[in-house]
Amino acid sequence: MNNKFDALKDDDSGDHDQDNVSPKDCEKEKSEDEEKDPNTAKKKTVVPGAGEHPLQYNYTFWYSRRTPGRPASSQSYEQNIKQIGSFASVEQFWRFYSHMIRPGDLTGHSDFHLFKEGIKPMWEDDANKSGGKWIIRLRKGLASRCWENLILAMLGEQFMVGEEICGAVVSVRFQEDIISIWNKTASDQATTARIRDTLRRVLNLPPNTIMEYKTHTDSIKAWEDFHGLVNASGGR
């Protein structure tokens, strides 16, 4: 039992936290998610207002939370993840950001996701499926500051890796918080190295901070393995 949880814990940074959802449920959620296209069409209309500072890309804020106590199988990923809004300029970003709770003030098992408009914070999204993420585990109390530094660097195009960045996640957990940044091509070592170095610089991380890179393929495999084990032993 412990082993399973260790394997999962590795992966516990932001995306699908459907630890107890059966694979069958997940399949269903994915197709539901894909059908939600009217929303995507609406998002496309976000443009910078007059006199505002345009961003290189439009972004969307998402929020997800695992409700404690409720049977996880009745929840879907789609029910768990909510779009807060999309923005196209610096000013629009601050409008959303200042009207949201800071990650450090969140309680329970929850995540903020900030992704480029059109990219879902899911491993299976076309932009993410060959990608991966840098993960940094933070002790409690640092999440807000680090998250702000991370997203300001992303919005300000400080990573200098072309189109590679997909989005960023902050995950509030019981004893620690995790921030991660996702990119498109996990196999592109020049890109992942540059992202790592920029992260160190913008987060003021000391050289001995442990940073872990994980491909989404590995995340999916770990997740599937875990659920395979659960099903084989008859659990749900």
Partner 1 sequence: MEVSRRRMRHLEPARPLRRLNAEQDQPSYADLESFPPSQCSSFNRIEVEEFYEILQLHSKTFATKKERISYSREFLLQAASSPMARRRPDFLPEHPVVLNKARVQDVRRLILCTTSPGKEDLSVQESEKNFTR
The residues of the shown chain that bind partner 1, judged by CB under 8 A, are 49, 51-56, 63, 82-85, 87, 90-96, 98-102, 106, 110, 112, 138-139, 141-142, 145-146, 148-149, 152-153, 155-158, 160, 202-206, 208-210
Least Å from the CB of residue 168 to partner 1: 15
Element (H, E) at 54: strand 54-65
Least Å from the CB of residue 220 to partner 1: 27
Closest CA to 106 of 170, 50, 186: 170
Least Å from the CB of residue 129 to partner 1: 25
Q: Which is nearer to partner 1, 23 or 48 (CB)?
A: 48
Q: Quick one: 67 exposed, middle or buried, by C-beta within 10 A (0-12, 13-18, 19+)? A: middle
Q: Which is nearer to partner 1, 33 or 91 (CB)?
A: 91
Q: Which is nearer to partner 1, 53 or 221 (CB)?
A: 53
Least Å from the CB of residue 62 to partner 1: 11
Q: How far apart are CA 136 and CA 133, in angstroms?
A: 10
**What does R_g of the chain's alpha carbons equal in angstroms?**
17
Q: Which is nearer to partner 1, 28 or 43 (CB)?
A: 43
Least Å from the CB of residue 227 to partner 1: 28
Q: How far apart are CA 21 and CA 75, in angstroms?
A: 8
Q: Which is nearer to partner 1, 156 or 235 (CB)?
A: 156
29 touches 78 (CB < 8 A): yes
Q: Which is nearer to partner 1, 38 or 206 (CB)?
A: 206
The vertex-16 CA angle with 15 and 19, nearest 5°, equals 135
Q: Quick one: 57 exposed, middle or buried, by C-beta within 10 A (0-12, 13-18, 19+)? A: middle
Least Å from the CB of residue 22 to partner 1: 27
Q: Which two tokens stand for residue 109?
A: 């098992």
C-beta neighbour count of 54 within 10 angstroms: 14
